[in-house]
């Protein structure tokens, strides 16, 4: 009889752990892991008014060290009146578990713990060691969560050999997609300074709009690349353009633009920043440029780890997974600095939505997949 992930998922969903609140969610995970022989360490980071609780749990100390990563924090439910059930009631109806986090990703963590329970029952003396890195800061700032726990792990000799993030990556059927990388994302805030003046006497002014448009033109005229082996082409979108000018006969003093760039492994945020400087200089701009990078691009190339994952998923689901790098950023971007990382989890059609849900049957199948992954990687 396989372990049942549903009661554990329900217990987690009943904790109102909207970032950065924990409301007992990590205690639920810790209480499930300790009887399985895990040593649990709670790691609290963040300023006084934004404390984030995290959990690192490891069973054994030997290599190879397999780490499962996830988060117990959830996005806000929005207006609860729009939900069929209370978003934190963990209602079970018609074979479906409803609630905030059912899909993203308390259901995934429960499936991992259930799969792990079955794996340990079948292989009590397994080689290597297993850990869980569970954060409470994935959905919001992602500052005091996975990144800080990894720093602690590195300082304490706990860096894993491979890691699997349990985010809901499947598109239509469980097992159809593994994410082996993610695009990078950066925002650029450009202010171009000109000289204000009368639009009838442009020679006495310096129009910053013209200069900014001239700088942006070449960046928009052609793709920044044609894609790479595992990534689509980089995209650059102008997401803001503002001159704050209500008059029709005034050349304004400044013009501002905001860009969002989703980039593949041909670039880094530093190389793209250099490119923006070059374009602004080429257009003769006097300017300020600020950039914010929420994650560099990364890819875990097919090799023993990705092959083992693919084999395990094909064996347990009957579906051969596609290797994908689409979507936004995830905490895997932090883990990629330390070890090979991939992401595999449930079908993610309802994440962050009203009436978020997971199929009970699918969570059971996900648990079986996680068990098979441990068997492929550790024994
Ligand atoms: Zn998530």
User: DSSP string spanning 294-354?
Assistant: EE--EE--SSHHHHHHHHHHHHHHS-PPEEE--SS--THHHHTTTS-EEE--SB-SSTTST
Q: Residue 233's pLDDT is what?
A: 95
Cα-to-centroid distance, 376 and ligand 1 (Å) = 25
Strand partners, 107: none
pLDDT tens per residue across span 23-36: 999 999 999 999 99
Mean pLDDT of 341-360: 95
Q: What is the pLDDT of residues 224-253, one digit of tens each?
A: 999 999 999 999 999 999 999 999 999 999
pLDDT digits (tens, 9 = 90+) for 120-155: 999 999 999 999 999 999 999 899 999 999 999 999
- Is 299 in contact with 230 (CB distance < 8 Å)? yes
Measured between its terminal Cα atoms, the distance across the chain in Å is 22
User: In percent, how much of the chain has pLDDT > 90?
Assistant: 96
Instruction: Give the pLDDT score at 174.
Output: 97
Mean pLDDT of the chain: 96
Distance 167 CA to ligand 1 centre (A): 5
Q: Which residues of 194-221 are buried (b: 16+ CB within 10 A; e: fewer)?
A: beebeeeeeeebbbbbbbbbbbbeebee
CA of 205 to the centre of ligand 1 (A): 51
pLDDT (average), residues 54-69? 97
Q: Average pLDDT in the 198-216 region?
A: 97
Per the annotation, the verdict on 296 as an active-site residue is no
Q: DSSP assignment, residue 161?
A: S
Measured in angstroms, how far is the CA atom of residue 169 from the centroid of ligand 1? 10
Residue 239 Cα, ligand 1 centroid: separation in angstroms?
Answer: 25
**Ligand 1 centre and the CA of 137: distance in Å?**
10
Catalytic residue among 27, 138, 343, 356: 138
User: What's residue 328's pLDDT?
Assistant: 81
138 is an active site residue:
yes
* pLDDT > 80? residue 379: no
Query: What's the gap in Å between 143 CA and the centre of ligand 1?
Result: 15
Q: What's this model's pTM, rounded to 2 decimal places?
A: 0.89
Catalytic residue among 22, 23, 73, 104: 73
Cα–Cα distance, 301 to 341 (Å, whole number): 10
- Ligand 1: centre distance to CA 138 (Å): 7
Q: How far is the CA of 193 from the centre of ligand 1 (A)?
A: 41
The Cα 70–Cα 73 span in angstroms is 9
pLDDT classification of 313: cutoffs 50, 70, 90: very high
Q: What pLDDT score was predicted for residue 108?
A: 98
Confidence of residue 327 (pLDDT cuts 50, 70, 90): confident
Percent of the chain topping pLDDT 70: 100
Question: Checking DSSP bridges between strand 184-193 and strand 129-135, what pairing results, if any?
Answer: unpaired
**pLDDT for position 128:** 97
């Amino acid at each position: 009889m396989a372990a049942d992930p549903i009661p554990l998922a329900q217990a987690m969903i009943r904790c109102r752990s909207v970032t950065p609140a924990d409301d007992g969610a990590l205690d639920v995970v810790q209480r499930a892991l300790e009887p399985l022989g895990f040593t649990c360490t709670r790691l609290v980071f963040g300023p006084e008014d934004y404390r984030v609780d995290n959990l690192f749990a490891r069973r054994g100390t030997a290599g190879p060290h397999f780490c499962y990563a996830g988060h117990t924090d959830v996005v806000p439910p929005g207006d609860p009146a729009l939900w069929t059930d209370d978003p934190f009631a963990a209602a079970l109806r018609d074979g479906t578990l409803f609630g905030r986090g059912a899909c993203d990703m308390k259901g995934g963590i429960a499936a991992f713990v259930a799969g792990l329970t079955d794996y340990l029952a079948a292989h009590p003396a397994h080689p290597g060691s297993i850990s869980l890195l569970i954060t409470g800061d994935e959905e919001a700032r992602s500052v005091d969560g996975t990144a800080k726990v990894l720093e602690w792990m590195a300082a304490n000799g706990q860096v894993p050999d491979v890691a699997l993030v349990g985010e809901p990556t499947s598109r239509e059927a469980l097992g159809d997609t593994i994410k082996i990388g993610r695009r990078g994302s950066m925002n650029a805030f450009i202010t171009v300074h000109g000289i204000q003046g009368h639009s009838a006497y442009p020679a006495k002014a310096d129009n910053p709009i013209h200069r900014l448009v001239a700088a942006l033109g070449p960046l928009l005229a052609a793709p920044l690349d044609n894609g790479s082996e595992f990534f689509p082409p980089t995209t650059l979108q102008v997401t803001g353009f503002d001159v704050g000018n209500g008059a029709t006969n005034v050349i304004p003093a400044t013009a501002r633009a905001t860009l969002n760039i989703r980039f593949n492994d041909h670039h880094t945020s530093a190389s793209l920043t250099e490119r923006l400087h070059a374009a602004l200089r080429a257009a003769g701009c006097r300017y300020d440029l600020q950039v914010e990078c929420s994650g560099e691009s990364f890819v875990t190339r097919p090799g023993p780890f990705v092959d083992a994952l693919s084999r395990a998923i094909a064996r347990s689901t009957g579906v051969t997974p596609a290797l994908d790098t689409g979507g936004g950023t995830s905490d895997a971007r932090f883990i990629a600095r330390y070890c090979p990382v991939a992401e595999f989890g449930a079908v993610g059609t309802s994440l962050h939505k009203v009436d978020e849900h997971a199929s009970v049957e699918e969570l059971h199948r996900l648990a079986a997949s996680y068990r098979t992954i441990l068997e492929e990687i550790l024994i």
